[in-house]
A = this chain, B = another copy of it.
């Protein structure tokens, strides 16, 4: 029954996109949307049932009370509906969807294939069950993957920070003490550099050596 249809749909979809060489997830996504018909998922009922859980969930959460004048408009996550406390990647989301987005938004979509019809309902209870649909929903509500810092950016920030420290030390007198501190910073930086060579920041390093 539906499983069959879903499977076929999925395969058709994936076969199609594999032809397409675009690496832009956004493109992949929009094509996915055009392709997949909204269809009822056999899990739907289960998912809907679980509203009790939702209730319990919101109950138990520490409602940032602090003298109960928590004027927080009690935000809810645009992805899963859990309580949220602010914006993450340009949309109101909970902590877990924030982390989820950070981890997954840059992944290659086909790796996250949905088992069903790419139209899973995402809520607090089901969010863990389908990475594809959760991520799809993140993009749906327009979370910005371009706000995730790249490895390069992270390394750069670190270096800048260390450099600042270094400069501070520099500005101090050049007595023995500062020398000692300095070598500490140097060591730290060296470690950082070595560490960074294990990651995808490498191209930069390689470039340096190629010239």
Contacts and interface: CB of A to CB of B under 8 A. Distances in A.
Interface of A: 1-4, 6-8, 10-11, 14-15, 17-24, 26-27, 42, 46, 52-54, 56-57, 60-62, 64, 82, 96, 108, 110-111, 113, 115, 124-125, 142, 146, 153, 156, 159-160, 163, 166-168, 170-172, 174-175, 177-179, 181-183, 186, 189-190, 193-194, 197-200, 202-209, 211
A156 B207 CA distance: 11
* SS of A interface (majority): helix
B23 A175 contact: no
A45 B204 CA distance: 63
Contact of A209 (B82, B125, B177, B197): B177
A186 B171 CA distance: 21
A134 B203 CA distance: 44
Contacts of A11: 17-21, 110
A23 B10 contact: no
Contacts of A193: 182, 186
Given A22-B3, A26-B3, A200 B181 contact: no
Contacts of A110: 10-11, 14
A158 to B, nearest CB: 10
Contact of A199 (B60, B171, B183, B208): B171
A1 B72 CA distance: 40
B211 A207 contact: yes
A194 to B, nearest CB: 7
